[in-house]
Structure 1
């Protein structure tokens, strides 16, 4: 049986920190350094959630769908999940999330950070949808 608690926790933390990031832009008492720290923390939460998501998805493909040979890297796993109709969004959207994860792992320049942050609302919605598909539970 697959334990989904790590995925749930990482997704909940991302959801909360992303809300904090969105609200920080309207809080005049925060310095630019504070806002930058919140943005960086939000990106780190995304990285953790994304990594947990694809690893959980791999287990699901093997243990629940019985796919015998599943690669050990995110993009092939995302493609297999799409082929098995686990996503509502197009595969291209999920591949954008994968690219954002790779980009933030190597460089936190402002442009890449902004691109990642711009994807997070959709990523959170898609990740919640996937969580519900995998677990059969409603997101709270």
Structure 2
């Protein structure tokens, strides 16, 4: 069974577009507009992250053992994904996981900024994962 990677591709593109829009408006005097765009970046990060870890879990289940993803935590999934060269930096993926868990606190200033900073970093790591999944699709 091959993985359908279209959803991941679309969610990465949506995140990248929202980041581009943020950078084009970041100096705008309307701080509410910029904050709204930043919230959209965080929302797109959440979606791209969720699609990423779910595809990692599916790949591991299909290629390692049918219940691999059910026997471990997300951090364990990232460690396994690193062992199988789906991702190249396990530690940053664990940090993305922690940032994703903190998105519910995004309106608390400091945490919001930290999550946003991880959202800005995420596309290149998600693209790397997508590339590796595409290489091993069949």
Q: Same fold (TM over 0.5)?
A: yes
Root-mean-square deviation (CA, aligned residues, Å) is 1.8
Corresponding residue of 2:67:
69
Corresponding residue of 2:59:
60
- TM-score, length of structure 1 as denominator length: 0.85
> C-alpha deviations, 1:64-115, integer Å up to 9, x for none?
x2333323453221121112222122x1111110000001134431211111
> C-alpha deviations, 1:6-45, integer Å up to 9, x for none?
11111110011011112221334xx111111111111011
**1:116 and 1:92 mapped to 2: Cα distance?**
16
For structure 2, the residue ranges without an aligned partner over 5 or more in a row are none
Larger relative contact order (C-alpha < 8 A, sep ≥ 6)? 2
Corresponding residue of 1:7:
8
Corresponding residue of 2:94:
95
Q: Which moves more between the two structures, 108-117 or 10-19?
A: 108-117
Q: Secondary structure at the match of 2:69?
A: coil
Please list every run of at least 4 consecutive aligned residues from structure 1 whose deviation after the TM superposition is greater than 6 angstroms. Answer: none
Corresponding residue of 1:80:
80
**1:5 and 1:108 mapped to 2: Cα distance?**
31
Aligned length: 133
- TM-score, length of structure 2 as denominator length: 0.87
Corresponding residue of 2:117:
118
**1:68 and 1:103 mapped to 2: Cα distance?**
30
